[in-house]
Chain A
Amino acid sequence: MNKKGPLYAFFLSLVLLLPGCSSLAVLNPKGPAARTLSDTIILSILVMLGVLAVVYILYIFVLVKYRAKKSNEGYIPPHEEGNVWLEAIWIIIPIIIVAFLSVVTVKTTNEVENVAAEYKDQKPLVIYASSSNWKWHFSYPEEGIETVNYVNMPVHRAVEFRMYSFGTITSLWIPQLAGQKYAMSDMLTTLHLSADTEGSYIGKNANFSGKGFAHMEFEALVMSSKDYDEWVKEVKETAEPLTEDTFKDLLAIEHIGRKTFSSTHLTFSPPPMDHSEMDRDMDHDQMDMDNGNMEHQDNKEIHPSPEPSAETEFDGEPNPELDQPLPSSPVEEHTSHNSN
């Protein structure tokens, strides 16, 4: 078997080359969602190694035994049509494997699409994450603060990211905390995650989005609840509010460092609706859905009018998602403060 020799030597050297498992971010989870995914991946790797082993053993066996050599010269291979039982085996066993993995998939997909079991009873912290050019905006509607290119969150707390984009499709990914999900211009997507270890994690856009894509990274800093509350307080006291004009300028910039504001852009530029709302409105009355979209589109261009609903005559109720989280009022004066 001259064929497999170099291959195995190569795989072995590869394993040795690896700087250890900890550098495999995906397999080094720091939160329940990422842990579920890591476990799923490891389980699937083990099952697949089993499949590979069967194929490789059979493969090596037939190649060694039935290769043309001096001793079997003149051997005339038999005519074989196939064998119903054998073929049934290699249909049924894969079906069982696929069925097993399907169950795992359905179960884990549902798990990571919802709040993690250990944080079920918490009301999740909602953070709107929106992308523009090659930046990320993180808006905390409950706290009434907004950051650019970094996100802080408390440890042991269910966090719900609601994502959308002011342009190309991007994908929010913090590999050690959760899998990724797209941020798109006409639909709100939701990502549930939580961290159970404090620390700084790399977050990035995973979906190619043009020239500045390679540098579209951010820091996800997980801190204790106390530190988090202090940080929020500090921001509210020291950072400038985000005005419509500032935000407009901000959107136009391609790259920027960190920014911090004491109000969110959600007040004057509401996000699009999410899927479930769209479906619900569809059932109600198709008109509503379209207005929802139009409303958002108007705002994407930062319409000067602060009342987006005034643009459309059909608008019965504004986006319900936004009703509660709107910050009380950004009237108080704040001194400007950019944390970086």
Chain B
Amino acid sequence: MKIDASKPLEYATEENSNKIFGFWVFLGAEIPLFATLFTVYFVMVNRFASGPSGSELFEIGPVLIETFLLLSSSFTIGLAVHAMRHGHKKAMMVFMAITLLMGLGFIGIEIDEFFTYVHEGATLQTSGFLSSLFVLLGTHGAHVSFGFLWGVAIMIQLWRQGITPATANKAFIFSLFWHFLDVVWIFIFSFVYLKGLM
């Protein structure tokens, strides 16, 4: 592998830069995916049949905590990449761990939220509105959960192999993914929760 020292480590080989570009293209595919889910949600938003509407269902408290966790984790993954660029393996690991823990917290609150909904009788089967809500939130949540597992796998590799072009590349791509999930969440927060609460 030819390593180009003039570039950041995650871009240092041709394979690395291809992977980063490829991941951007993949995120390009994630945009229509979530856009479609949002469209479905907007079409369904007033079709709550005999079930509850958004304003009856949503509670701002847990949602604010979720938002806080995810936005902060986006910041800490940025710090992790910053530490990586400076070769600080330990700092990088710590920031990644914080990121993943906040992600885990997010998933926990979301699962609790789902349980609350179901407990109140608002299930996937209740209405078109709830189906679209659960699938939109669930898809995002599944992404975060997958991201958590992926992040753990990358941390294990970092811990074993140190910061190499290969691991730096993976960590950087992971950070792109994590930022993307954050952006999607901002849309969910504004257009699902805030709009629903209004």
Contact = CB atoms under 8 A, between A and B. Distances in A.
Interface in B28-72: 46-50
B46 A294 contact: no
A289 B50 CA distance: 14
A149 interface: no
Nearest to B45: A286
Contacts of B46: 286-287, 289-290
Determine the main DSSP class of A at the interface with B.
Answer: helix
A190 interface: no
Interface size class of A (residues with CB under 8 A): under 10
A290 B47 CA distance: 6
B49 to A, nearest CB: 6
Interface in A144-169: none
B16 to A, nearest CB: 39
Contacts of A207: none
A81 to B, nearest CB: 32
Interface in A278-293: 286-287, 289-290, 293
Interface residues of B, number: 5
A297 interface: yes
Contacts of A289: 46
Nearest to B48: A290
B97 to A, nearest CB: 45
Interface in A285-315: 286-287, 289-290, 293-294, 297
A182 to B, nearest CB: 18
Interface string A295-338: 00100000000000000000000000000000000000000000
Contacts of A297: 49
A293 B49 CA distance: 8
A285 to B, nearest CB: 10
Contacts of B50: 294
Contacts of A293: 47, 49
Contacts of A287: 46
Interface string B123-145: 00000000000000000000000
Interface in A220-275: none
Contacts of B49: 290, 293-294, 297
Nearest to B50: A294
A263 B178 CA distance: 63
A294 B46 CA distance: 11
Nearest to A311: B50
A286 B46 CA distance: 7
Nearest to A282: B46
Contacts of B47: 290, 293
A300 to B, nearest CB: 12
Nearest to A289: B46
A118 to B, nearest CB: 40
Contacts of A294: 49-50
A142 to B, nearest CB: 32
A297 B46 CA distance: 15
B132 to A, nearest CB: 14
Interface in B1-51: 46-50
A290 B45 CA distance: 10
B127 to A, nearest CB: 10
A326 B93 CA distance: 74
A286 B47 CA distance: 10
B42 to A, nearest CB: 12
B40 to A, nearest CB: 16
A294 B49 CA distance: 6
12 contacts: A286-B46, A287-B46, A289-B46, A290-B46, A290-B47, A290-B48, A290-B49, A293-B47, A293-B49, A294-B49, A294-B50, A297-B49
Interface of A: 286-287, 289-290, 293-294, 297
Interface of B: 46-50
Q: Which 6 A-B pairs have the closest CB atoms?
A: A286-B46, A290-B46, A294-B49, A290-B47, A289-B46, A290-B48
Given A287-B46, A290-B48, A290-B49, 9 more contacts: A286-B46, A289-B46, A290-B46, A290-B47, A293-B47, A293-B49, A294-B49, A294-B50, A297-B49
